Chain A
Amino acid sequence: MSPDNLDIQNSLDKDLIASVTDLKVYFESKQGMVHSVDGVSFDIVDGEMMGLVGETGCGKSVTARTFMQLVQSPPGVLAGGNIKFRSKNIKNGSQVIDLLDLSENQIRELRGERIAMIFQDPGKALNPGLTIRTQVAEVFQEHRENDVLEKAGLKNKLSGVTEYFVKKYIKQEAGFLVTTLLKIPPLSTYKKKIDSGINRLVAEALEETQIPNPTKVMERYPHELSGGMKQRVMIAQAIACNPDLLIADEPTTALDVTVQARVLDLIKELQKRHKTSVLYISHDLSLVRRICDRIAVMYAGQIVETGDAETIFNQPKHPYTQGLINALPSMSHERGKLEAIEGIVPELIEPEPGCRFVSRCMRRKANCEEIDPKLKPISEVDKSHKVACLLYEA
């Protein structure tokens, strides 16, 4: 690690697992640069569930994808900022790294191992041409070589060339020569043992997400499973390596309410059991309120308000947050008019300075169009509740 990283290590608070500072992700387009994520900063407290809420196109998914360097470049441009992440449980203890500084190989080691992701549509995120077993096994084969060997009963029993071959096989890097050799005894017996070891690991992982009879499900293809089951497989895949940070990108949007409740319970339970930190991305406020400890509200590429879930819902300060909460039809409301936020989300191509919400804001002031509001704590007492609005600036 370079000396730079040591500086960062000192600067990440003890109780945080990750911290995003002034993140800027732009996309090139014919009309100009699209400022999808424009100066986003937030912290994820270790072992907590952080909710990132916002409307379509506000940049919440891009933010999440930047964690794993999944934003395609070009057209994506990383225009600034950093994501500090405390990687625990690695050989030399816990260590703070900047996720955006890592090379392709380094981030590959983290993906699925320390940071895992659950995608929105399990129907699209799972490969339709591979069995569930193959897809879940990949995580173990990539990151948990020793576990596989242990399950196969081959740990510390192999040596030299045999070990090299077997490991190649586990890593799915076996070329023609190794594949052929693995068909001949005694290597073929090792291969069988490895296969059954992987099977057992996969079955255990599936079992953890409450999938009934995992050994059967394992041999199926994604289209043979229901939406809820597919999402469980995704979750099994994500938590297989017991990651430090789990990014859930609208994991229940494609599911029915009854199934959604089950999947949420599952995520919450697994989070508690493994003490995983979760970044939960959703557009559904009522859902986020239920499961998240802390919330950040995004609008047009910026965070407008952040704080404890209860504070945000009981005392929303930013006009956008207030509007969002009022726009939601609620079971206790009287029927009739909903308080809609009029207007549409502004274009994010080379945006003008000033508050992004100004065109839709009911409480705008004269200088709102000129001054870019900064995310600041609302009071001296509660430092965690921050708002980016001129109304609250002295």
Chain B
Amino acid sequence: MSNSKNTILSLRNVKKHFPIKEGVFQNVVGQVHAVDGVSFDIGAGETVGLVGESGCGKTTIGRCVSGLEPLTNGDIFFDLTPEKLLALEDFEKHQSEIKNKHLIDEIQSTSNISKIEGDDFYNYRRNCQMVFQDSFSSLSPRQLVSDIVSRPLKIHKVCADNELIPRTIELLEQVGLGKQHLYRFPHQFSGGQRQRISIARALALDPKLIVLDEPTSALDVSVQAQILNLLHDLQKQRGLSYLFITHNLSVIRHMADKIVVMYLGKVVEAGKTEDIFSNPQHPYTKALLAASPDLSEDVMSDMAALDGPIPDPARPPQGCSFRTRCPVSRTECGWEVDDIIRRLEHHETLIDSIKSVHQPDAFNAKLTFETSLSAIELKDVIGTNDIPKQMRKAIKKIEVDGNDVNISFDPVQTVPLVQSDNGSLSRCVLANK
């Protein structure tokens, strides 16, 4: 990233957990780790693409960025000058020795979106707009287009009442609509046109950042191309920054400067678009790329697919979260007792005969079976090829003691994001070497 430009948005270890409530008193029984420590920056005039499967937390990030969801942990900074960004990075590295405390305090009070108040917050809201996926539900069916598009202008009092309509027409013209569309209701438009209205509304306040949450996934290809071209042109004219959230890799390849690949609430790979597409480092990115059909590919080439379901985000795997589906998993990926239980689902009788599980931590557990026979069977099953070889190797100790089985794994730290050869970051034990 060039140092002369401002950083429009900087996410620092952002976490968003949703409580799971149960019972009459709505006791909190667990947390869904929707976003779990995500950091990335968006420069001025830059497009950052956020990709991942459904449920990986990409939409939640979009909502956090636009201030629709309060953060559980971490910070989001808005519009930082290069000096401020440097100071912030410095501060994070050497937390103990605070050099320029007043600058940090200033950044916290003027740029941290969960701490700013009053006019600053107003200003942030103005500069960060959102375009939603489904234009049916994001445009009020009872309002005219003129109301919808001029509403932000009214709220933020950017123009006088008699200028409202001319300004609205101007906005509509920018997105390829016109005067004649002013007094119509959203249902009178096609999907592509409605998405244009959403974009006009987002543009009304001349924002610096637009969060685009799957803006074209409900559209046809020919219309999708129109919308993508429009977004491209607007970015050129106004120097907008986009946070482009999508699951479509060809679209992101076309739009984004930088890409952040997410899996289970964590960033697994981040880097420049060309680097990631030409030389993906993380097995998950590789699998995603292989799975998405593309016109330029050879028809006969195999479509690689991933096995197994996405693990429960309320109990995300320790170590590398992708190892349960990873085709190239290693012994040191951080296998844990839950993996054995996940595998046991193929052995119905075994899982039915488990009486209790005593689990002091993720890597040690005592499984109690109804009969000692099942306990021995478990040990046998672990010895067979039903269990990945790498996982078997990772087991430190497995003992049968009557009806009990004691299992322990080598504890492993969370896999960090590491810079790889081509400059992109990836979170994989293979890249650590």
Contact = CB atoms under 8 A, between A and B. Distances in A.
A88 interface: no
Contacts of B306: 258-259, 261-262
A336 B232 contact: yes
B221 A285 contact: yes
18 contacts: A212-B346, A213-B345, A215-B348, A257-B288, A258-B53, A258-B291, A259-B305, A261-B303, A262-B307, A290-B303, A328-B250, A329-B225, A329-B253, A329-B254, A331-B277, A337-B232, A338-B225, A344-B192
B45 to A, nearest CB: 14
A342 interface: yes
Given A212-B346, A256-B54, A290-B303, A340 B250 contact: no
A365 interface: no
A330 interface: yes
B222 A55 contact: yes
Contact of B53 (A256, A262, A309, A323): A256
A310 B300 CA distance: 11
Nearest to B301: A290
Contacts of A260: 291
A283 B248 CA distance: 14
Contact of B191 (A56, A228, A328, A330): A56
B221 A55 contact: yes
Interface residues of A, number: 48
B59 to A, nearest CB: 14
Nearest to A268: B303
B295 A261 contact: no
Interface string B295-310: 1110100011111010
B221 A331 contact: no
A127 interface: no
Contacts of A289: 293, 295, 299
Given A332-B296, A340-B229, A265 B221 contact: no
A340 B196 CA distance: 15
A333 B254 contact: yes
Nearest to B273: A335
Pairs of residues from A and B, 8 with the lowest C-beta to C-beta distance, nearest first: A332-B296, A340-B225, A327-B225, A261-B305, A329-B254, A341-B222, A55-B220, A338-B225
B295 A325 contact: yes
Contacts of A172: none
Contacts of B223: 55, 340, 344
Nearest to A266: B305
Contacts of A345: 190
Contact of A313 (B220, B277, B295): B295
B87 interface: no
Interface in B330-345: 345
A289 B304 CA distance: 16
A173 interface: no
A327 B255 CA distance: 14
Interface bin, chain B: 35 or more
Given A285-B221, A290-B303, A330-B295, A258 B287 contact: yes
Contacts of B288: 257-258
A350 interface: no
A329 B296 CA distance: 10
Given A213-B345, A226-B309, A257-B249, A327 B222 contact: yes
A340 B231 CA distance: 13
A324 interface: yes
A264 interface: yes
Given A283-B221, A290-B299, A310-B299, A257 B228 contact: no
Contact of B296 (A324, A327, A331): A331
A183 B431 CA distance: 65
Nearest to B296: A332
A319 B89 CA distance: 54
A337 B229 contact: yes
A91 interface: no
B222 A340 contact: yes
Interface in B180-223: 190-193, 220-223
A101 interface: no
B33 interface: no
A216 interface: yes
B305 A286 contact: no
Interface string A242-258: 00000000000000111
B229 A338 contact: yes
B250 A331 contact: yes
A327 B224 contact: yes
Interface string A196-212: 00000000000000001
A283 B253 CA distance: 20
A329 B251 contact: yes
Q: Which of B287, B299, B345 has the most CB of A within 10 A?
A: B299
A93 B297 CA distance: 43
A217 B387 CA distance: 21
B345 A212 contact: yes
A284 interface: yes
Given A256-B53, A285-B221, A328-B221, A338 B228 contact: yes
B6 interface: no
Given A256-B247, A329-B253, A262 B305 contact: yes
Given A264-B303, A289-B299, A290-B299, A257 B222 contact: no
Contact of B291 (A215, A257, A335): A257
B225 A213 contact: no
A309 B293 CA distance: 15
A181 interface: no
B5 to A, nearest CB: 19
A287 interface: yes
A13 interface: no
A136 B291 CA distance: 29
A229 to B, nearest CB: 8
A150 interface: no
Interface in B240-262: 247, 249-251, 253-255
B170 to A, nearest CB: 21
Given A259-B306, A289-B295, A331-B250, 20 more contacts: A55-B221, A213-B345, A226-B309, A256-B53, A256-B54, A257-B247, A258-B287, A261-B304, A262-B305, A284-B293, A286-B297, A290-B299, A329-B228, A329-B254, A331-B294, A331-B296, A332-B296, A340-B229, A342-B226, A344-B192
